[in-house]
Structure 1
């Protein structure tokens, strides 16, 4: 569905806004996109159903709050329930669930009635903003700490996923600007000038390229990914698609010919397809056999489950858009070379393809940890 939304949005922006068609201005295009986003958000809110998680234990219990809140991670059971952080999470979740279920179930102490509920509500109102502010400030450090303490297979997977998303999002964010400048125009040119007209034409061409990339990525996911994986294997398919994607980006930066760019964008769909599927599949595989893939991880203070590791892996998508946004525009303005947009993105892709060769794709590839023999003493 994300791919379908990308195709539709790029189709709208590839329309010639000033040709007397239905979309007569950029304002109409953004308005239509806002209506679509609002409609989809409303449908999601109306159709989503969530099971209520109820607890039968007190806030100081070390047992699980609810089966829905538990997950199998790479930590031992003793480390999970003895961790102060885990205990604090269970207590916080219990308070929130009790407050949601009503005043009758929320009053677990001897104090009953509205006074106890008001006391807990006041504490929540005072502590929640401070807790949220501290989490935002410490978010980069917490992510780094999680990744640093995670098993080797997860650290490598995060790095590969981060570099691949940096390559893809550099292509998505800056292709239209690059083609607009390659066409002979600039965004700073006044409206109605020849330079601005060339820039707008390049932007529309870039939108068409992104639409072609989305369509080809969706078709490859439906009809080409599984047969290719069965024939070549997960490792070869992943590395090959990343390499093809990166090579096409470099060719686009060197030869901005419209027919060639359209063909290359169609080929690049395979890279977009594997970026969205292979890391998630590998993460699920790792958690399916944690005793094998997480064998290098000693008993940690905090146990990370599948959901938490998926959340950490998803941060690579956010960082993949933040880091290029902070650097690529500044480099292009400094050197006056719009080719750097796509060329550096291709470099990120080659790095991800190279590190992807070191990932673990099967349990048989894990080297068992053996303790070094202790020398005999006389």
Structure 2
């Protein structure tokens, strides 16, 4: 069994995040925010302290780092450049070489990273030019703008693919709205005469336009993603986007809150014959969701949301079988205390191995252990040392295969916190 460690970094929203501390009670309301103490109010100090804390948990180095978008608040060139430099100088360069950054780090744009307004443009990607330039001027090419971002991580002589997708195509414009509504809104906003002496009014109208965004993924990208996933034959596909695939758990009457063609994307991801890991941000909270199609028993989506960077980050340990198909993940939430210290919250283990082939995909030793337990009866349980004696197998080999059986949901390790010889192994089905 192989492990791939992923650092998932959520929305940054520079420069707003410079002087904001984590939410004190880790609630889900975006309005429940506390300002940092006076000692941290110098611009940049809070973010630098966050970066130092995040670096401290990156030992060993993550195999993959993903930034899930919304680097800025308004997508302006100056703040995009500063946000990218913060990611590089504060988080990445102290840990990775430039070559490793190119090979291990994936960026995707968020709805706040587009340049507004887009007057008369016929190119739906033009609004990402400021974001693209900010990335490329700082040496980043895996920015997932017009084409998929792509990182290929070496794992035990083979590779694992991570793809970044742009879910923000409809942001900053109204072309995805019904034509009558689009025309009426455009005429109303364009006809709204704002005196130059009223900058706050200009900002308010801009905010109205932003809330009428219709985020979507280009259909050609969805079709291309389908081809990509078919081509990699289930070798641990990792997809990174900004938007959530399911409606948010908190009701927000704002159209830009949801990806309008997420149903098509869910269908592509959930109907493969292997599970897919989807990592995103956008909603400023951290739900974990399993999405499955009952007609595709071996597939499904495990969707993990990152909190805002001011609340913390996720470490996602992805475990793979010998064929590099996903077995499961350990999700380790690291969350900031009010003093900006990272605290490890309780981790969550989720199996991604399910369906009819979960036993057949395991090593012969694992199948032998399972058959032995089945033959012993449903009530049977064994300490791992007993299994080693009874089956004549090395205790380390037994431990590795019992762990694989546990990931597959076939056995339960009742006291996994103890040393392996004291593990109590029981059938889980």
TM-score over 0.5 for the pair: no
- Structure with a larger share of its residues in helix: 1
TM-score (norm 2): 0.21
- Structure with a larger share of its residues in strand: 2
Q: Which has the higher contact order (CA 8 A, sep 6+)?
A: 1
Higher Rg: 1
